[in-house]
Structure 1
Amino acid sequence: MDHLRYCGLSFEKQRAAFLDIVSADPLIAETLSRVRVLGLPDWLVVSGALYNSVWNHLTGKPSGYGIRDVDLFYFDESDLSYEAEDSVIARAAPVFADLPLPVEIRNQARVHLWYPSKFGRSCPCYSSSSDSVRFFASKTHAVGVRFDTDGRLDLVAPFGLDDIFSFCITPNRVLDSRQTHEAKGARARENWPEISVVPW
């Protein structure tokens, strides 16, 4: 199997391939269909479940292989309390209860409030779910999908898709996230030995 067959193609061709692959993946397709019923503001399914599903497809691995959870972002500035976010998580729990992987939900409007205590450094106040993706530790991981108002799958990929289709994890040095980049890169290589990791 030629796992690099989309490497180096135009963004539009890569975008079409990416959306075809993730929409056909049973785990992603089911998650996306269920997210819609929650009516979350500015929601976005992001990161590992997406690019890992692409790597699984291109290397002949089963759906869900190597994926720990599905990350679901939303953005709501109206209430930045932990309690408000926790109520959204509780409301969503029965919606996703029988999925094979847990769905981790986070309000991106309040990340800057807990980020310093968790990572020992500050992060910006994000302006949207899409904005937060630009600050991921690796450019390769900065990808998200959601349905637009017409029900079509929309892609957020601020750094493009060639790193994903090249099986290359590239650092994003906008924040001091070296440890996260290296840890995620090492774990990815355990599951997909085709991957290369660009040093920080």
Structure 2
Amino acid sequence: MNMHLRYAGAAPESQRQALAAIIRDQPMLMVVLEQLRDMALPDHLLVAGAIYNSVWNALTGRAALTGINDIDVIYFDDRDLGWDAEDRVIKALEARFAGLPIPVQARNQARVHLWFEQKFGIPFLPLRSSAEMLGRYASKTHAVGARLNDAGGLEIVAPFGLDDLFSFRMVPNPVLDNRVAHASKAERAKAIWPELTIIAWPDD
């Protein structure tokens, strides 16, 4: 078996433990997770490439930051849906993490429905949590988030499980018409991690 696939098909709990170990082995990710917890950012999750790219790098022996351009953080706060409130959080995180080698970018998921259709041309119903946003990602493989709880435990949120991630398989999520996003992300990822298998968007 190819060593990068050593967790493919493993039991869900074994995959969760493997993911937690990979995240804990990345000092930069742990700094972000600890700071987010200490800030008490509402319903926050560390998401996107900082997680799935870290997994692929760890399992293929690549440098830790290969393919990671930024660290994406989502949170959910519906107490104030104005842009100014979100901008204050964005600026606070930029200042807090200014010493990191790559930027930390935060977005309030309670506001996504206010701008998504105008930007992407796709209707978007309001979300009720950060975790719900993961279920609308263009790829099921990318729908993984993590946060630290007060006891130091690492909570993993993965609505589609982790097997696609550990199987190096990019699987589309047709809940929204995200065909273009899936294709562009897949093309970029395949160029960096040729071990990936890309599953095409389903025909209508």
State the TM-score, normalized to the length of structure 2: 0.95
1:20-50 deviation digits (Å, cap 9, x = unpaired): 1111112211221222232211011012110
- Kept in 1, the 8 Å contact 2:94–2:103? The answer is no
- Contact 1:68–1:101 under 8 Å retained in 2: yes
| Deviation, structure 1 residue 145 | 0.2
Root mean square deviation, CA, Å: 1.0
In structure 2, the partner of 1:151 is 152
Provide structure 1 residue ranges, at least 5 long, that are not aligned to the other structure.
Answer: none
CA distance in 2, matches of 1:155, 1:27: 17
TM-superposition CA deviations, 1:82-137 (whole Å, max 9, x none): 11100111122211101111111000000000101110111121100011111000
Task: Report the Cα distance in structure 2 between the residues aligned to 1:123 and 1:78, rounded to whole angstroms.
Answer: 20
Matches within 5 A, 1:108-123: 108-123=109-124
State the distance in 1 between where 2:184 and 2:22 align. Answer: 26
The yes-or-no answer on 1:184 pairing with 2:182 is no
Counterpart position of 2:94:
93
* 1:45-84 correspondence runs (5 A): 45-84=46-85
Question: Aligned with 1:3: secondary structure?
Answer: helix
Matches of 1:148 and 1:31, distance apart in 2: 13
Contact 1:47 1:71 in 2 (8 A): yes
Spell out the pairing of 1:3-42 with structure 2 (5 A cutoff): 3-42=4-43
Q: Secondary structure at the residue paired with 1:77?
A: coil
CA distance in 2, matches of 1:177, 1:21: 29
Gaps spanning 5+ residues in structure 2: where? none
| Cα distance between partner residues in 2 of 1:132 and 1:16 | 23
In the alignment of these two chains, the number of paired residues is: 200
**Percent identity of equivalent pairs:** 50
Encode CA deviations 1:138-159: one digit per residue, 9 max, x unaligned: 0000000001232211000000
Say which SS state the counterpart of residue 105 (structure 2) adopts: strand
Q: Return the alpha-carbon distance in structure 2 between the equivalents of residues 123 and 48 of structure 1.
A: 23
Report the secondary structure of 2:52's partner residue: helix
